[in-house]
Amino acid sequence: MKPEFYEDIRAFTLVELIVVSAILGVLAIMSIPLFTQYVNKTKSSRALAEIRNIEKDITAYIIDKNTLPPTLNDAGFTRPDPWERPYEYSIIGSGPAPLENFIADPLNTDYDLYSKGPDGLSDAAAAHATSADDIVRSNDGGYAGLRAGL
């Protein structure tokens, strides 16, 4: 004869536990690309906001010193972009060649400011695939966003 306490015990079978684990695994695998996409979108938004803040720092420097800052450090901005790389800054007409779009017109007439985006690659040709994810300031501050949006 069985003791009474065995009658009230209910438990999951091994098969049920394996099925539930498999379903949870599939859901987790499906969510990883969505999470990665969300993280990259968030980092791009942060880079865009920081580019606008850097613009304000540069404008304040221009008002104070009546000239463009030689470096972003001089303008008071020292943080890296969301991908832990420095923001690219160059004064038009000095230093490295500015970014240019596919019709060879400069994006800006005063200075170029951009992040190389998630892949860390950039090319002077806007049509180049490595430039599509760059977050840029163009049209002398009239536009800031993805390079692919130009």
**pLDDT tens column, 98-125:** 454 433 446 788 898 999 988 888 876 6
Q: For residue 68, which phi and psi values (nearest 5 degrees)?
A: -70, 145
Q: What is the dihedral of CA 149, 46, 133, 36, to 10 degrees?
A: -120
Average pLDDT in the chain: 83
- Note whether residue 17 is domain-resident: no
Domain of residue 53, CATH code: 3.30.700
Q: Does 50 fall in a domain?
A: yes
Tokens 């190389």 label which residue? 116
And the tokens for 42? 């968030």
Of 149, 116, 113, 109, which is closest to residue 131 (Cα–Cα)? 116
pLDDT at residue 83 greater than cutoff 90 = yes
- 72 in any annotated domain: yes
**Residue 99 placed within a domain:** yes
Q: Which residue has the higher pLDDT, 135 or 107?
A: 135
* Separation of alpha carbons 41 and 117, rounded Å: 10
- The domain in which residue 68 lies consists of 45-149
The count of structural domains within the chain is 1
For the entire predicted model, the pTM comes to 0.73
Residue 38 within any structural domain of the chain = no
Domain presence at residue 96: yes
**Position 53 in a domain:** yes
